[in-house]
């Protein structure tokens, strides 16, 4: 027991400097990142850049599911999702005939992007799921801009052919 008391006495002078050093290290840590996430301006992107960004988000936002996107002829958004069983589930959504919204799924604690038909006769199509609301909102914006541009292209072609 005498040895333990001697060790305690030897460490006592080191205690205050160690505490001050730890406190100084914590002063600069407030829990927030030191840099902001890069701002992505979806409005100034080209069609190809929007698709590239959408595919990047689809690859990285969910722990299991992977999403791939492409725009086919006639404004069809091809959506392919690979789930945990490693099979791809392809779907198509006509960008001109759907509305897009973010919904929170409480049972899985995930944000999803849903495409609902204007008529309401067809079931909604899941376009994306992820844990981050900001990412789901970005996916929604990108899809809405793809739909807007597709609609504009269709109208331009119709006005030229008249």
Answer yes or no: is 25 within a domain: no
Distance CA 46, CA 25 (A): 45
Answer yes or no: is 67 within a domain: yes
Instruction: Name the band, by pLDDT with cuts 50, 70 and 90, for residue 38.
Output: low
Residue 99 pLDDT: 92
Answer yes or no: is 29 within a domain: no
Q: Which domain holds residue 119?
A: 47-161
3-state secondary structure 41-58: CHHHCCHHHHHHHHHHHH
Answer yes or no: is 20 within a domain: no
Number of domain units in the chain: 1
Answer yes or no: is 141 within a domain: yes
Answer yes or no: is 15 within a domain: no
147: domain CATH number is 2.30.29
Residue 159 pLDDT: 44
β-strand pairing of 88-94 with 98-105: unpaired
Residue-wise pLDDT for 89-105, tens only, equals 889 999 999 999 999 98
Crossing angle (nearest 10°) for helices 47-60 and 133-161: 150
Q: What is the mean pLDDT of the chain?
A: 81
Q: Which of 21-35, 99-113, 127-141 has the lowest mean pLDDT?
A: 21-35
Residue 27 pLDDT: 65
Q: What is the pTM of this model?
A: 0.69
Answer yes or no: is 36 within a domain: no
């Amino acid at each position: 027991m005498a040895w333990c008391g001697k060790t305690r006495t030897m460490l006592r002078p080191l205690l205050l400097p160690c505490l001050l050093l730890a406190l100084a290290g914590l002063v600069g840590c407030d829990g927030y990142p030191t840099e902001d996430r890069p701002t992505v301006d979806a409005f100034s992107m080209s069609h190809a850049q929007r698709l590239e960004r959408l595919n990047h988000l689809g690859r990285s936002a969910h722990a299991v599911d992977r999403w791939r996107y492409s725009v086919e002829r006639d404004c069809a958004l091809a959506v392919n999702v690979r789930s945990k069983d490693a099979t791809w589930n392809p779907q198509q959504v006509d960008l001109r005939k759907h509305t897009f919204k973010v919904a929170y799924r409480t049972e899985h604690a995930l944000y999803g992007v849903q495409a609902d038909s204007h008529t309401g006769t067809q079931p909604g199509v899941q376009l994306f799921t992820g844990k981050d609301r900001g990412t789901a909102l970005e996916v929604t914006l990108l899809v809405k801009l793809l739909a807007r541009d597709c609609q504009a292209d269709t109208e331009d072609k119709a006005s030229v052919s008249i």
